[in-house]
Amino acid sequence: MRGLDQLRLLWTLSLRSLYSHWFKSLIVGSIMAFGTFLVVLGTAFIDTIERAMAQSITASLAGHLQIYSAKAKDELALYGGQFMGSEDIGRIDDFSQLQAALQDVPGIKAVVPMGIDMATISSPGELERALGSLRTAIRQEQPSLIPALKSQVREILTQMKAEQERSESITDDKEKLKETIALLAGVITDEFWAAFDADPLGKLEFLDTKVAPLAEEGKLIYFRYLGTDLPHFQENFDRFQIVSGEMVPPNQRGFMFNNKFYEEWVKNVCAKNIDTLAKSIFDKGETIEGSATLQALVRQTARQYRRITYHLDAPESAALEAELKKLLPEVQGGLPELLQGFLTFTDQNFKERHTFFYERIAPLIDLYDVHIGDTISITAFTRSGFLKAVNVKLYGTFTFKGLDKSDLAGDHSLMDILTFRELYGLMSEDKKQELAAIKGEVGVKDVAADAAEEALFGEASDAAPVEVKRPASFDEFAGLDLTQERERMKALQAAGFKQDDIDHGLALNAAVVLEQPEQMWSDKTAIEAALKKAGLDLKVVDWQSAAGLVGQFILVIKGVLYIAIFIIFLVALVIINNSMIMATMERVTEIGTMRAIGAQRTMVLAMFLVETTVLGFLAGTGGAAFASLVVKLLATNGVPAPSPELVFLFGGPRLFPELAASNLLLGAVIIVFVSLASTFYPAFLAAQIQPVVAMGQKE
């Protein structure tokens, strides 16, 4: 009973003191409330982002754990690390050994082989593309395609001539321009095209070598891709979603573009710019008038009108010109001028022209440099050092659900793992021997750069030319068969493969998808033990480490938040401490009197501690309640991701923050700690006050 009375007394005294020093209590309480608000709201946000990012990473590319070589020179960074995709993470020479080692480990849903690398596809300019298609049609004897392609080539050449003529006023070298115009005039005549069928390949070579260099150059598209067991990947990464086309059939070689990459890098530049404008205007509510970026994009789009005109044959050009004349009666000139006028968008005309573009123009042009269903040539430098190109069918495009706007999630395209192995191209023993044999034939001595001049032009050297007797003709093809590699690749493309081929071969890393992700750390330990038992020199990392810099980003955000919280509470601690010391000085008489009438030192100490704890409790409750309210309000509609990078961190276009008991608990623990820590010293000082001194001071 005595204890309860004492507690009641302390409670009354602390309330009375807080009330009598209400201004100081308000200031200190506000700082405490703000700190608690920040702790609760901040940790709720961070926890939600961490969960969302975990979903983004584990369900799209990483799985819950990743396994790769323990001898790796660099760390695995699925989304790119400091080496921008050229990390050396070693390799798993035989994936089936890893499968066998893990087959008895409980809790594993799937182990998916992977390999990430960079490759390129080349995309020629419009004239070269049209000439290439015409050559293919002629060679493959597809007469139905030839007239339209001839018409398209002729139309491009006509437009090139018109452009050269328009450039007369700005060209210094009039003579060269005259020659160019004469050349182009020659290849658009009826005579040239009448004679075309008699020697189509000869005419094409003429166009290829004399005219095509005058046209715009093509481009090389660099991309990052993931080679994997595609059916297993689709089955175990539930964010994977096909956007267009179809999944690569099981046991077939094939390629799928990430839809974001396909739309941004493979799409016709006019269409891509129109899409960007549409997103900014329709989705974000921006205006062309109010945005210098959009204005620049409009100017760039208008300059790119050839990306439309070069796709049209003569009848299509005429039909589009007629339609555009109706739409833009004020524009003088032919199709180029009309298209430039059409592509000069304003806020007023954009909606109408966006519709017109997709309804009337898009069906006439190649919207993409490569189409779904095409066989594309992918080129990469192999690990053996040789350049390797493979033909592979583009089956479709895909995205990761909710992450379609994320640049990070849109970075990787997908390929079957057998094609990946071809492009990865390890140096085989056979090849090593073959190269050694070639080297042996030459027997050339290696010379390092810094010793070259002495070695090559020293005293023993002789620069005088050696006369060679008139050589006999040599047969460079004797004993050689140059068709082997081509035939091998053709056979590989035609033949399917078996699951065994996927399993018994190279992978760079493997994703482990767990039955129960919350048991990740214990599963990781079990997997490490199983790998050790099987004698495999592999290491296991969690999804956050495997993600590379992206995975570390959450740690950076956490660090910033905790530093901010630390600073706020440090300030609070100092202010509370000072306030309490001042309050102690002001209350010397009061404390002295209390001590004189029998209050023990512990009583004084407790009085101060309870006073601050009560203030902390009240402020903390207020701050936490306000933070809970804010979280609830934000969770109603979600917080929109302001940039594509944040779409990935938010796990989608919006983040729906959730409040957990742990966030409130953390807020409570911190506020109690700060309250007690800041009061302990003033309370100790107060407890040292002697009644006699206090009385004396009064007198």
Partner 1 sequence: MKRVWSGLVLTAGLSLQATMALAATQEEVDAIVKELDERQRNSGDYKALCYIEQKEKDKNDLVYQAVYYRRDDDDKFMILFLKPKSEAGKGYLRLDKNLFMYDPTVGKWERRTERERLLGTDSRRGDFDESRLHEEYNTTWVGEEKLGKFAVHHLKLKAKPGEDVAYPLVELWVDKATNNMLKRQDYALSERLMRTTYYPKWKKVYSESKKAEVYYPEEIRFFDEVEKGNRTTVVISEVDLHPLDPNLFTKAWLESKSR
- What does the binding site for partner 1 look like in residue numbers (CB under 8 A)? 122, 124, 128, 132, 201, 205, 208-210, 212-213, 217-218, 377, 379, 381, 384-391, 427, 431-432, 434-435, 438-439, 441-442, 444, 446-449, 452-454, 456-459, 461, 463-474, 476-477, 480-486, 489
The CB-of-670 to partner 1 minimum distance in angstroms stands at: 51
**How far is 631 from 212, CA to CA, in rounded Å?**
62
The smaller minimum CB distance to partner 1, of residues 41 and 134, is found at 134
**How far is 58 from 112, CA to CA, in rounded Å?**
12
Smallest Cα–Cα separation from 139: which of 79, 93, 200, 98?
200
The CB-of-203 to partner 1 minimum distance in angstroms stands at: 13
Token representation of residue 407? 């640049």
The CB-of-477 to partner 1 minimum distance in angstroms stands at: 8
The CB-of-393 to partner 1 minimum distance in angstroms stands at: 13
From residue 315, how far is each of 308, 320, 321, 642 by CA, in Å? 14, 9, 10, 46
The CB-of-228 to partner 1 minimum distance in angstroms stands at: 22
Q: Contact at 8 Å (CB) between 600 and 13?
A: no
**How far is 130 from 187, CA to CA, in rounded Å?**
15
The CB-of-632 to partner 1 minimum distance in angstroms stands at: 57
The CB-of-472 to partner 1 minimum distance in angstroms stands at: 8
Smallest Cα–Cα separation from 569: which of 697, 421, 674?
674
The smaller minimum CB distance to partner 1, of residues 478 and 597, is found at 478
The CB-of-172 to partner 1 minimum distance in angstroms stands at: 11
From residue 552, how far is each of 160, 402, 490, 652 by CA, in Å? 52, 22, 44, 19
The CB-of-78 to partner 1 minimum distance in angstroms stands at: 24
The smaller minimum CB distance to partner 1, of residues 73 and 632, is found at 73
From residue 513, how far is each of 189, 226, 536, 596, 650 by CA, in Å? 65, 17, 19, 71, 21
The smaller minimum CB distance to partner 1, of residues 166 and 432, is found at 432
**How far is 141 from 2, CA to CA, in rounded Å?**
107
From residue 570, how far is each of 196, 386, 622, 669, 673 by CA, in Å? 85, 60, 20, 15, 12
Smallest Cα–Cα separation from 340: which of 283, 381, 298?
298
- The β-bridge relationship of strands 387-400 and 240-245 is antiparallel
Give, for 243, the enclosing helix (H) or strand (E): strand 240-245
The smaller minimum CB distance to partner 1, of residues 104 and 197, is found at 197
The CB-of-95 to partner 1 minimum distance in angstroms stands at: 23
Half-sphere exposure of 388 (CA within 13 A, CB side): 22
Enumerate residues 6+ apart whose C-beta is below 8 A from 209: none
The smaller minimum CB distance to partner 1, of residues 476 and 500, is found at 476
Burial of 533 (C-beta count, 10 Å sphere; 0-12/13-18/19+)? exposed
The smaller minimum CB distance to partner 1, of residues 88 and 515, is found at 88
The smaller minimum CB distance to partner 1, of residues 201 and 563, is found at 201
Query: Which residue type does 650 have?
Result: F
The smaller minimum CB distance to partner 1, of residues 201 and 296, is found at 201
The DSSP bridge partners found for residue 512 are 65, 111
- The alpha carbon of residue 356 and the mean position of all alpha carbons in its chain are separated, in whole angstroms, by 33
The smaller minimum CB distance to partner 1, of residues 180 and 579, is found at 180
The smaller minimum CB distance to partner 1, of residues 172 and 699, is found at 172
**How far is 430 from 438, CA to CA, in rounded Å?**
13
The CB-of-214 to partner 1 minimum distance in angstroms stands at: 11
**How far is 222 from 380, CA to CA, in rounded Å?**
10
